[in-house]
Amino acid sequence: MTKLSFGAHPYLLGFDQLERLVERTAKSGSDAYPPYNIEQSGADEFRITLAVAGFAEADLAITMEDRALVIRGRQAEDGTERIFLHRGIAARAFQRSFVLADGVEVAGAGLENGLLHIDLKRAQPEPVVQSIPIHTR
């Protein structure tokens, strides 16, 4: 028996990109650092919050890369020699990616009390009705 893939279903024309998107999302690692929340703050609004304790605004970068929201963090070396008796606060570099659907845009970002908030908004497309002419052959 042949397995029918999601993108090859006869009623879902042109959705092969969605299957690749699901595969790409599944391959993105399951690293738990930094921890994050995703909230729905309105009908078409979302907020991603990352716990980035110890990172300054200059240590963080947020970019959009091929429909993926990419957050990177790298702390600058302060040059001082410190001796830790216990080190429980992670200070390693990180990269966290979130794939955004078409129409979802970044509305803004802010750093507050060690939490990086990224606000997203889904734009409502204008309904389009289009007549398709029929040509005789």
CA neighbor of 76 nearest in space, from 61, 98, 88: 61
Is pLDDT at 91 greater than 80 in this prediction?
no
Contact (Cβ atoms closer than 8 angstroms) between residue 39 and residue 49: yes
Does residue 120 belong to any structural domain of this protein? yes
Does residue 111 belong to any structural domain of this protein? yes
Does residue 59 belong to any structural domain of this protein? yes
Does residue 107 belong to any structural domain of this protein? yes
Looking at residue 127, its pLDDT comes to 82
Report pTM.
Answer: 0.71
* DSSP states along 65-108: ETTEEEEEE-PPP-------S---S----EEEEEEPPTTEEEEE
Encode pLDDT of 104-119 as tens digits. Answer: 999 999 999 999 999 9
Mean pLDDT for the stretch of residues 1-14: 61
- What CATH number did the domain enclosing 72 receive? 2.60.40.790
Does residue 14 belong to any structural domain of this protein? no
| pLDDT-derived band at 102, boundaries 50, 70, 90 | confident
Does residue 54 belong to any structural domain of this protein? yes
Looking at residue 24, its pLDDT comes to 63
Sheet containing 36-42: order of strands: 36-42, 45-51, 115-122, 104-112
Total of domains in the chain:
1
Q: Domain range spanning residue 52?
A: 31-76+86-124
